[in-house]
Structure 1
């Protein structure tokens, strides 16, 4: 699915803090950066990337710690895996590829990186799509029994190292399959070549530790960054599409995800979106045609009409 895209590895970051980011690039036209989530890699975008490459320059990358990108240390405050650090990586990747401004599509953790990018680098993002998430701070401030049950991994993964790492090591691929097949879709919703990519990464203990550090950062330093932005009145200022799976946890939220995200924008009219019918969390795989149609309509819309 990604055979027509060219692989690359770029070293980004300040001296002493550099990481290598792996990705693929192809197509011609307006640039669009594709960011995956947990427990996936850039391979999740296969069919969508191939379609978008018909009229866009597509760049799909592995977040730091994931896939074939580097797995740096995190530091005592987990800052090495903050969404701020991840967003900085991706902005520099795009700059190195020749794009000062670009569109971003993010799913799951990649969508949280996209949210941080919208706040930290507002002049870089022309349009953004956030797939199947609610804001991190919102999630932690609205925990009830149902959410804690569905999002149990948010509280499991953030336990001190190396408790979750040791427990998952008992059957890492079995655990991976349970996650991929248990969040609104069956395991067979994931294309075989993409699943193989996830399995290769998840088999690596260093990758699993990096993923836990991602979640530890999400429950600590990322919340500090979010609180600082809220206090400063920093809000989303680019047109933003919000999509979520109708049958997933986000879709079951008591408050409309669209209304939640509108409050995160400087102008609520900047944020549009809807549920994707018959989809859970992995909507790109579960309902590829409907999800891609919504994304294409957003990317090609008249800016004056957004």
Structure 2
């Protein structure tokens, strides 16, 4: 899927979690982070083209794909966005990059947002694909959002209730997720889909994904509140993209306005909705997503 890219495995973060990834190309470094329920394979449709101008690094978040699945702790902090961001910053350091751009989708975009707050000196530019800030989502739940994001409230139930229910038909359930957020299952390339299926077939991976969501509803909100109290804001150019026919695009308030409030200077944030796209922008509209990323990431 990644042509001449080279695979790597590094231990990263304060708790030394194995992180799997691939690297290719040459030029300014850019880190690409996937979301739920995917792996780094989601970036294959755009990674090789980006590698014409950049050194591209795609990794599996802790708990996902071929990366390690550490214990989460009673407070779920082992799967907080803070822990995931620390992993990725450490990976980039070990690859020789003190500064780099980041593009994240879904949970990977939430990791990117936390990285912007916790490691502001490391990130030069950031792209956030099809999310609104976690605290904003929880603070603005209505019937439409709860219906579309039902899994947020299902996955955070105490272990191991969601895990046992999903175990009845894990691959069938995975397919409903991948095919149910504005795209059909056939939007996902066959090799990438196989990567998602391999990971989701592992009970330990499914538990780690649930812990990611449990952290999102607990310790991550605590971190967000502390950052807000401290006046932390996005301080680098940031691109927000979302699918015009997805849940983010249906938000009562413009996603661009929401993200501009999260920045020290609203003019730092640009972005738009991609037409004919739901949640999985890279899979549904790889050409349009690539154009937006290349235009944003190339030197200005």
> Does the TM-score normalized on the shorter chain lie above 0.5?
yes
**Alignment partners' CA distance in 1, 2:71 and 2:50:** 34
Which runs of at least 4 in structure 1 moved beyond 6 Å after TM superposition?
none
Q: CA RMSD in A?
A: 0.6
- Any stretches of 5+ residues in structure 2 without a counterpart? none
Partner residue of 2:12?
12
**Alignment partners' CA distance in 1, 2:47 and 2:64:** 18
- Please list the CA deviations of residues 84-141 of structure 1 after superposition, one character each: whole Å capped at 9, or x if unmatched: 0000000000000000000000000000000000000000000000000000000000
Partner residue of 1:209?
207
What is the aligned counterpart of 2:126 among 125, 128, 146? 128
**Alignment partners' CA distance in 1, 2:276 and 2:144:** 21
**Alignment partners' CA distance in 2, 1:248 and 1:72:** 32
- What is the Cα deviation at residue 12 of structure 1? 1.4
Structure 1 residue matching 2:36: 3-state secondary structure: coil
* TM-score normalised according to structure 2 size: 0.99
Partner residue of 1:2?
2
What is the aligned counterpart of 2:40 among 42, 67, 83? 42
Partner residue of 1:162?
160
- Any stretches of 5+ residues in structure 1 without a counterpart? none
Structure 2 residue matching 1:213: 3-state secondary structure: helix
- What is the Cα deviation at residue 40 of structure 1? 0.1
| Aligned pairs for 1:13-162 within 5 A | 13-14=13-14, 17-162=15-160
**Alignment partners' CA distance in 2, 1:238 and 1:99:** 17
- What is the Cα deviation at residue 301 of structure 1? 5.0
What is the aligned counterpart of 2:242 among 238, 241, 244? 244
Partner residue of 2:253?
255
* TM-score normalised according to structure 1 size: 0.97
- What is the Cα deviation at residue 13 of structure 1? 2.6
- Equivalenced residues, count: 300
Partner residue of 1:219?
217
Partner residue of 2:290?
292
